[in-house]
Amino acid sequence: MSQVERIGVSLDKKLLSRFDKLIAGQGYQSRSEAIRDLVRRQLSTEQLSNPDAEAVAAVFLVYDHHSTKLTEKLMDLQHSHILQVISSIHIHLDKHDCLEVIVMRGRVGEISKMGENILSLKGVKLGRVNFVSSESD
């Protein structure tokens, strides 16, 4: 944090009480830290709504490795997006299912498209794309 500016916020007592309960349950030690995180989250959400913004994303998927050619297709997709794919982790969950986490960096629009391509492959049982904005304050 380069420079800190103090601000005052007026809140309805009931609203403040609910907020205090919420952040205590989440483990926050101070209102300031909780409010800073809320502001960052909102700014991040705003940034991620722009398809041209830079971001990092993790694609989580669960699939049966017996599915015809799925492993091969997954590998092909990652190799053809070599600039976006930073890393991947493969975990054998049980006799059939595998969990794969593919971490990517790039423009929100491009990563979303690749995430959708991965999740729509035949044999993928569950999946989601989780974004985090990569441009900080």
Q: Under the rule (CB under 5 A), what is the footprint of Ni ion?
A: 65, 92, 98
Pick 40 or 92: Cβ nearer Ni ion: 92
Pick 65 or 107: Cβ nearer Ni ion: 65
Pick 65 or 105: Cβ nearer Ni ion: 65
Provide, rounded to whole angstroms, the least separation between the CB of residue 61 and Ni ion: 12
Determine the Cα–Cα distance for residues 78 and 113; give it in Å rounded to an integer.
13
Provide, rounded to whole angstroms, the least separation between the CB of residue 125 and Ni ion: 13
In terms of Cα–Cα distance, which of 85, 112, 86, 88 is closest to 98? Answer: 88
Provide, rounded to whole angstroms, the least separation between the CB of residue 86 and Ni ion: 20
Q: Report DSSP state, residue 133.
A: E
Residue nearest Ni ion by beta-carbon distance: 98
Pick 55 or 74: Cβ nearer Ni ion: 74
Q: Could you tell me which residues are beta bridge partners of residue 105?
A: 56
Task: Give every CB contact of residue 58 below 8 A, 6+ residues apart in sequence.
Answer: 101, 102, 103, 104, 129, 130
